[in-house]
Amino acid sequence: MKLYGFWRSGATYRVRIALALKGLAYDYAPINLLKGEQGSPDYLKASPQGLVPALITDEGPVLTQSLAIIAYLEEKAPMPSLLPGDPISRAKARAIAFAIACEAQPFQNSRTQKYLREDAHFDDAAMKRWLDFTVGRALRAVEIMVADAGGKFCVGDAPTIADICLVPQVYAALRFGVDLSALPRVNEIHERCNALDAFKKAHPDNQPDAPKG
Amino acid sequence: MKLYGFWRSGATYRVRIALALKGLAYDYAPINLLKGEQGSPDYLKASPQGLVPALITDEGPVLTQSLAIIAYLEEKAPMPSLLPGDPISRAKARAIAFAIACEAQPFQNSRTQKYLREDAHFDDAAMKRWLDFTVGRALRAVEIMVADAGGKFCVGDAPTIADICLVPQVYAALRFGVDLSALPRVNEIHERCNALDAFKKAHPDNQPDAPKG
């Protein structure tokens, strides 16, 4: 398998965590988002949305969308599972993952921020309000959802798809100065995940395309 | 089961299509988004994000996030399946669903549009550019993805999770004046879906809380 991605892309980070938790080996092909490599004709053939990540499977086809890639990995290499063992807990884990993937990440990714700054002339204060209205609000909801689900991780006592989405989202939120100080469960789970080898291995700073030093 | 929703909500519409395709009966509890009922303390207990839909399961717990609800329904009532039969096609169907759910719908939903108009002072022209940059671009990518996947529907010859996301997205895009005229496959699939009884039954106009006439 070959993963196209970018060290700091949150969606790529999710797939790296999933691959690491499952212990799957892969080649890594960096796509430099800052240089616009995601818009090259060659890359658009692999990923029509011009987004990272994309995964070239051993079967040949290229898959896009991080959560679709992770569902594929779950089917191909079921153990360890990235989903809880019962249907209601699985639904809760997926709901947290989607709350992040649909209600937080899209509003804060580099393409959206670039548009809002350049086309809509958001200044720093406007961006801060926007990020709190979107990312902050989504993570405040996630705080309630993880408290309801209980356990050491988002849902239960092992990392699931919910944690795979949470950790890159917290990384981005901190990077962009979103205030998470009132979210004790989110912070605690973030820290517990980051103590695990798989999450360390997947961290942006530990990727070959990350800036040195 | 009891579904909390709103006739015109795209995410509720997805769940209604899934329930109808599977022939599952449910009670319907309208939450009037225009009156702010999604922000009431009682509803926030069910849905901490203050979003519709939410599903009260027969097992008791309340589930949120349309795609998590649909995955739960798929597990509880596997036939007819809302996913293609092989892993690569399943990944393609999910990628289309997520391309819509993560890259189109959030940018166009009523909460986001309200914020951009009221806080960021978007006028009609700015909103039109924003919707084309987000919804338009996502659907242009979906046009390529469905052409690649082939078949009568988004992926293959039966409706899947991809079509369940596509139809409400096209409904919203047309409502907000996003130009889809250059997307023949998207339009053809949209029309083919809407000819099916399950999609008709789930259509916003056919809900008890839709305005009369």
In this structure, what token pair is assigned to residue A7? 């060290």
- Mean per-residue pLDDT of chain B: 95
Which residues of B fall within a CB distance of 8 Å from A92? Answer: 61, 63, 68
CB hemisphere CA count around A142 (13 angstroms) = 37
* Three-state SS at A46: helix
Per-residue model confidence as pLDDT tens digits over A137-179: 999 999 999 998 889 999 999 999 999 999 999 999 999 999 9
In this structure, what token pair is assigned to residue B26? 């449910």
pLDDT of residue B122: 97
In angstroms, the separation between the Cα of residue A151 and the nearest Cα of chain B is: 17
Contact flag A91-B101 (C-beta cutoff 8 Å): no
Per-residue model confidence as pLDDT tens digits over A83-129: 999 999 999 999 999 999 999 999 999 999 999 999 999 999 999 99
pLDDT of residue B46: 80
- Mean per-residue pLDDT of chain A: 95
Task: Closest CB to B68: pick one of A57, A71, A94.
Answer: A94
In angstroms, the separation between the Cα of residue B212 and the nearest Cα of chain A is: 32
Q: Is the peptide bond before B87 cis (omega within 30 degrees of 0)?
A: no
Residues 79-108 of A with CB under 8 A from B: 87-88, 90-92, 94-95, 97-99, 101-103, 105-107
Could you please report the per-residue DSSP string of chain B?
-EEEE-TT-HHHHHHHHHHHHTT---EEEE--GGGTGGGSHHHHHH-TT--S-EEE-TTS-EEESHHHHHHHHHHHS-SS-SS-SSHHHHHHHHHHHHHHHHHTHHHHSHHHHHHHHHTS---HHHHHHHHIIIIIHHHHHHHHHHHHH-SSSSSSSS--HHHHHHHHHHHHHHHTT---TT-HHHHHHHHHHHTSHHHHHHSGGGSTTSPP-
- A56 Cβ under 8 Å from any chain B Cβ: no
Which ipTM was obtained for this model?
Answer: 0.96
pLDDT of residue A212: 86
Q: Residue A186 carries which side chain, given as an amino acid letter?
A: V
Contact flag B69-A90 (C-beta cutoff 8 Å): no
Per-residue model confidence as pLDDT tens digits over B68-112: 999 999 999 999 999 999 999 999 999 999 999 999 999 999 999
* Three-state SS at A70: helix
Q: By the 8 A CB rule, do B123 and B188 touch?
A: no
- A1 Cβ under 8 Å from any chain B Cβ: no
**Integer Cα distance of A37 and B184 in angstroms:** 28
Q: Mean of the pLDDT values across residues B15-28?
A: 98
Domains of chain B by range and CATH? 2-80 (3.40.30.10), 87-198 (1.20.1050.10)
Which residues of A fall within a CB distance of 8 Å from B119? Answer: 126, 129-130, 133
**Among chain B residues, CA nearest to A53:** B95
**Among chain B residues, CA nearest to A56:** B88
pLDDT of residue A49: 79
pLDDT of residue B96: 97
Phi, psi of B3, deg, nearest 5: -105, 120
**Integer Cα distance of A37 and B43 in angstroms:** 44
Which residues of B fall within a CB distance of 8 Å from A64? Answer: 95, 99, 145
Per-residue model confidence as pLDDT tens digits over A21-35: 999 999 999 999 989
